[in-house]
Amino acid sequence: MSVSVTGYHSKDKGIGVLFDDIYIIEGKRTAFGKFMGSLSTVSPTDLGIHTSRAALTASGIDGGEVDQVIAANIGQAASDCFFLPRHIALYAGTAITAPALLVQRICGSGVEVLGQAAEQIALGKANVVLGCGTDTMSRYPLVSYSARQGFPLGRPDYTDLLWEALNDTAAVPMGRTADNLAIKYNLSREEVDAYAFRSQNRYAAAMKAGFFDSEITAVPAQGQFEAENLIPRKFKCKNKAGLSHDEHPRQTTLEQLSSLKPVFSKDGPTTAGNASGIVDGAASAIVASGDYVRAHGLKPIGKIRGYSSAGVDAHIMGIGPVPAIESILAALKMKVSDIDRYEINEAFSAQVLACARALKLDENTLNVNGGAVALGHPLGVTGIRLALTVLRTLHRDNKEFGVASACIGGGQGIAMVVERC
């Protein structure tokens, strides 16, 4: 087996892994449905099955060739989500002997899925891994952790898990961390709104040019998944036409953006217009060893060079991509300027701008097709979407190296370096 792997760790710079001869063969995502929109009636398991089947088809790999399945899902938005990785594996058509695993690094989970897939291959535990991230945020439940014990009279106790996903109870809500970064990096409301406006416009231009067509697998209005000896699964979209395009992007103006009130602190600058959208969706990708690629004559879209994660102060969690990117680039003996395209998740406009300032990025290389401010951020999905988008951008622009990176609630960052094949 020709794969090689080198891990590293530092108390100051985080942890990381370098790979040689591990590839992303192909991947697909759903269009992202807006909050309470077309996909809000579909369980995350079914969305994951749909993209996993599409990714396998696009890769030309039979499901029976998959050795492991690794999935990410942050909000357990259906009663069978305890079984989500295994059900995705079985209904996607993988062998009954292929085990399935759930990973969780909140907003960085999609990158973690791909990194864990590469690690399993490097350890000789797989040749082919199916990775999936899926979240139906519209279905994040209201829960009662004390109902089984009973309520005091007139005092029912329920928690909104969607809000809790956006709130760090040990520090501050996620949006407040972006406001803190705006202060730290002297970002004005005008700059932050201008970035959001640019994200929407860049997305619109890429969409009009058909850039996302090869990335998206349309979700039909309704469907059924079957697997041998298992009960069929049925799903139905809220939209009777199904969903083939991202629902969250919107036409806007700087005047409209500037009229919105700050959400998380009196002076902002974070508003609903310059933050990522709450959306529903899934994405899947096939990761394989070089030996398998060559033996089967496959044409991968990219090579995984390495990935890293790092911890940061929870009050400025959005700066997490900076140490993660610096760490993996140093390990690869690369500079910031050696990377041709960056996909840094736009959790908040102030947050991604702070990262760009800290890294001294050329913003012409950053999120060139727009980002989560435009199309939304389904928590467990985004990392895979970032990796697929940056690889397709490298192919379109005839460039070589890309970074997929995200900040992570609670104070972490994650980054992956990929190379166009």
| Interatomic CA distance for residues 76 and 162, integer angstroms | 11
Q: What is the DSSP string of 167-181?
A: B-TTS-BHHHHHHHH
For the chain, the maximum distance between any two Cα atoms, rounded to a whole number of angstroms, is 68
Which of 319, 302, 325 lies closest to 355, judged by CA? 319
User: Which residues, other chains included, contact 148 with Cβ-Cβ below 8 Å and sequence gap of 6+?
Assistant: none
Give which of 225, 203, 179, 120 is closest to 317, Cα–Cα: 179
Residue keyed to tokens 């932050």 = 192
Q: Is 278 left (phi over 0), alpha (psi -120 to 50) or beta?
A: beta
Do residues 133 and 45 make contact, with C-beta atoms less than 8 angstroms apart? no
User: Which of 107, 132, 237, 355 is flagged as catalytic?
Assistant: 107
Cis peptide before 141 (omega within 30 of 0): no
Q: H or E element: which one contains 223?
A: strand 222-225
| Residues 178 and 270 sit within 8 Å (Cβ to Cβ) | yes
Q: What's the rounded Cα separation, in Å, for the pair 258 and 252? A: 11
Separation CA 380–CA 102 (nearest Å): 11
Nearest to 55 by CA among 381, 366, 420: 381
Rounded Cα distance between 260 and 241, Å, is 32
Active-site annotation holds for 407? yes
- Selecting among 81, 132, 355, 407, the annotated active-site residue is 407
Sequence-distant contacts of 238-242: CB under 8 A, at least 24 apart: 238/36, 238/37, 238/38, 238/39, 238/40, 238/41, 239/37, 239/38, 242/38, 242/218
User: What six digits make up the tokens of 186?
Assistant: 């002297």
Q: Is 237 considered catalytic here?
A: no
Alpha helix stretches (DSSP H) within 209-319: 254-258, 290-295
Catalytic residues: 107, 407
